[in-house]
Structure 1
Amino acid sequence: MGGTSVAAGRRVTRFLASHHRDVTCVVVDVEFDFLDDIGETLLAQSASSDEMDRFDEDEDHRDTVEENRTFWDNQHQLLQTSICRTSSLESRIRHATKEALQEIQSAETVCGCGRQMAVTSCRNCLMREVSWRLQKAGYNSAICKTKWRSSPDIPSGEHNFLDVIDSTKKGKVRVIVELNFRGEFEMARGSEDYNRLVRRLPEVFVGKVERLSNLIKILCMGAKRCMKEKKMHMGPWRKHRYMQAKWLGPCERNTSTASLSVGYSERILPMAKPRPKASMLTVDLLEKLPNMHCNAVEVV
């Protein structure tokens, strides 16, 4: 670092500047090398952390995809089981409903609401026609109307459908008949998994209350998962409580179909071709002048 000499009784200490600079340079070089090593280590750790994050995200994504696939597979199995199971009573009413709809379509029945359209295009008239035919077949059929008030979860609303009540030894059995069952669950922005689930529904549902309740639960769970996957808000009219209120809530039951037989619905009959009418003047001339012949005259 320096040298010491004695001059005139004094002790003088000299510092060697060149050596100090060398030591300083060495220290600085070591310091920067140390910082470079730390930087490389931090970068390596950061890269490793990013790779782990991406790995975790990929794992979470794979878990989510597998979870969704398992969910939809289970929903399809539950739906198939609920649809396939049927009783003899449900089968008979389903067959009678199918025949009634075929008769209405083949007869080209006109809407009785005063609108010039086919009865199949008017829901109210179609329900009356089907209910009337079910009653003619011996079933206790009626048009039901449910109506519910709004609540913090769902808005108010009302719904019309058909039912058949059958008396057995165990008591009364109620069978719901919904003529537009599939349409009640269709969604414009539904996912492919949800739409595929809806396509498996029958267009016309005929089944007991317990079966309908199971189907509502399956479809509402599917709608909720669909909205979650698409990160969209689920409308209150698609919630489980709202769909239950449509068919399973308190209802007014109307069995009156007297107006149907009196002319509630009109029938489209083939129009007869109008017969040509002779002029009274022509008739008189032919009677008075039977031998009269008219020559053709060319008009120029």
Structure 2
Amino acid sequence: MAKEFFTGSATGRSSDEVSLADIVFESWDSFDSNKDGDVDENNNENDDSSSEKSKAFWEEKDQLLKGILCRTSSCEKKVREATKEVVREMDNSEMVCSCRRQVVAKSCRNCMLKELCDRLLNLGYNCAICKSKWRSSSEIISGEHSYLEVREDLSKRKSEVKVVIEMSFRGEFEMACGNEEYKELIKRLPEVFVGKAERLRALVKIMCSAAKRCMKEKKMHIGPWRKHKYMEAKWFGTCERSTMEPLLLMNSATRQPKYKASMLTFDLLLDNIQGLHCTTVEVV
């Protein structure tokens, strides 16, 4: 796929040598969060205190993020493995963009969501495309977002588990102006997130807190689209849940374009079809 993904240090190979499925679902290496550095003796006590608080903050967020990402449930694991296999198959397939946009199908988010949803449905998963929308308020600006959701009934607990699939999870939090500590947190995030809603909510809270702290340390204003309530609205706001038509796969034969004609020339097209007769209508 044309989209680039972070490979990390687990494989030791370039992004060109790693398939999409291997990249987006790879495990995270252990990370040494202790970055020792001598404090400048010329700094005053306030600077020392501020530096220590900053270091403690980023270490805490790093540990929290690692703890959440390393946990999983049997339900999440099952959906994650199925999603991984489907993404691998999609990576090796030729697809046609079904939304008629002038883009490659694999770079079209709508088409990717449709195809992934359809294939998971064929595997027996209760999967649907969720589209959330929210209006502007005094706290957040308006927006909309699409993602996938798999629901599974647990008969023993008599409850329903919701597993969210976000195709571009890391990209939702990336900032070009982020500091080094924030970028290290970004590297921990998977490109494709597959997990329970509760786990997603915890990750969103951590990353939004980190983004706010990052902008504060850089003395920059944080955009309203990066605030916690806005990010939460993407996956936890009011949404419409629906399945959609699957993406068409390309055959060996070239796909024929559909004819487009106005009513003024429609009779001429019909004359070209053998065995079909029509009455010419005068256009006034």
TM-score by length of 1: 0.68
Q: C-alpha offsets along residues 46-97 of structure 1, whole Å, 9 cap, x if unaligned?
A: xxxxxxxxx9962111111111111101101000111110001101111111
2:219 aligns with one of 212, 231, 234: 231
The equivalences for 1:38-57 within 5 A come to none
| Structure 1 residue 122 corresponds to structure 2 residue 105 | no
CA contact (8 A) 1:176 1:209 kept: yes
Paired amino acid for 2:201: S
Q: C-alpha offsets along residues 277-300 of structure 1, whole Å, 9 cap, x if unaligned?
A: xxxxxxxxxxxxxxxxxxxxxxxx
| Structure 1 residue 205 corresponds to structure 2 residue 193 | yes
What are the ranges of 5 or more consecutive residues in structure 1 without an aligned counterpart? 1-54, 272-300
Comparing both structures, which one devotes a greater share of its residues to strand? 1
**How many aligned positions are there?**
213
In structure 1, the partner of 2:136 is 150
Secondary structure (helix, strand or coil) at the match of 1:78 reads helix
Paired amino acid for 2:123: A
1:220 aligns with one of 191, 204, 208: 208
CA contact (8 A) 2:93 2:249 kept: no
Deviation at 1:116, TM superposition (A): 5.3
CA contact (8 A) 1:100 1:133 kept: yes
In structure 2, the partner of 1:136 is 122
The equivalences for 1:61-140 within 5 A come to 61-115=47-101, 117-140=103-126
| Structure 1 residue 161 corresponds to structure 2 residue 144 | no
Comparing both structures, which one devotes a greater share of its residues to helix? 1
Paired amino acid for 1:216: V
| Structure 1 residue 240 corresponds to structure 2 residue 228 | yes
Q: C-alpha offsets along residues 139-184 of structure 1, whole Å, 9 cap, x if unaligned?
A: 0000001111111111011100000000112211111000000000
Q: C-alpha offsets along residues 24-61 of structure 1, whole Å, 9 cap, x if unaligned?
A: xxxxxxxxxxxxxxxxxxxxxxxxxxxxxxx9962111
In structure 1, the partner of 2:277 is none
Secondary structure (helix, strand or coil) at the match of 2:191 reads coil
CA contact (8 A) 1:112 1:265 kept: yes
Aligned mates of 1:235, 1:114 — CA distance in 2: 33
CA contact (8 A) 2:94 2:249 kept: no
Deviation at 1:111, TM superposition (A): 1.5
- What percentage of residue pairs aligned between the two structures are identical? 52
Aligned mates of 1:66, 1:247 — CA distance in 2: 34
CA contact (8 A) 1:109 1:268 kept: no
What are the ranges of 5 or more consecutive residues in structure 2 without an aligned counterpart? 1-40, 255-284
Name the Cα RMSD after superposition. Answer: 1.8
